[in-house]
Amino acid sequence: MIEPEMAFYDLEDNANLAEEFIKYIIKYVLENNREDLDFLATRLADEEKQLPQDKRSKMGLIEKLEFVVNNEFQRLTYTEAIDILANSNHNKKKKFQYPITGWGMDLQSEHERYLVEKHFKKPVILTDYPAGIKSFYMRLNEDGKTVAAMDILAPGIGEIVGGSQREERLDVLLEKMKAMNIPQEEMWWYVDTRRFGTVPHAGFGLGFERMIQFVTGMTNIRDVIAFPRTPKSAEF
């Protein structure tokens, strides 16, 4: 994982940095590794010829990368996303493996990919998730129900970035830990970072292999992991 953490950042600052970071990486590869991308684009096109027409990508690899660099990511809240998914023909025709049951459910990869690939047809930044399905350290919003969390969803692979603004208020943090049955005594070291002074801050994690997978057009993430782990392969 690539995990930056920024002091004096709120959720919007966090999302802006993550989007800019992703675009910078892709732009750098487009400008400096064009020969490699041409090879990978040809490989992907040949691979997709074996797929049914409805399973093929509407864009070639390089076209897709340029589209991401040249367009603003679509931003919406979790609540807006649930409404879109619930009212989609895909859900009404029961094509989701996990039906949309309403506000508060955890989104699955198929839901994320529907938003990106079918509805908006561009990368999506989802924000303000229900507090109950996110970590205790994410900052509670003023509505008392959602937290300042964000996920960036990319075509073909779903979530590529997960992050949030952190809860810097000690009293709110302790209340959330209590509500989630997180033992305060075991997390004393974390609580002390708030007790003895902190600042508003935010951060995110970018999945390195997922980023490589997206840029190269590889369909299996194992093909881009430098040291893949397989069941029963470790000696200890």
Residue spans per domain, the chain: 5-220
Q: Which tens digits make up the pLDDT trace of 50-64?
A: 877 767 777 789 998
**pLDDT surpasses 90 at 227:** no
Could you give the dihedral angle defined by the CA atoms of residues 94, 96, 102 and 106, in that order, rounded to the nearest 10 degrees? 170
Mean residue pLDDT of the chain comes to: 92
Can you say whether the dihedral through the CA atoms of 194, 198, 201, 202 is positive or negative?
negative
pTM: 0.87
| Class of the CATH-defined domain 5-220 | alpha beta
Which DSSP string corresponds to the chain?
-B--EEET--HHHHHHHHHHHHHHHHHHHHHH-HHHHHHHHHHHHHHHTTS-GGGS-SS-HHHHHHHHHHSPPEEEEHHHHHHHHHTSHHHHTT-SSS----TTPPPPHHHHHIIIIIIISS-EEEEEEEGGGS-TTBPBPTTSSEEEEEEEEETTTEEEEEEEEB---HHHHHHHHHHTT--TTTTHHHHHHHHT----EEEEEE-HHHHHHHHHT-S-GGGG-SS---TT----
Q: Which tens digits make up the pLDDT trace of 124-163?
A: 999 999 999 999 999 999 999 999 999 999 887 788 999 9
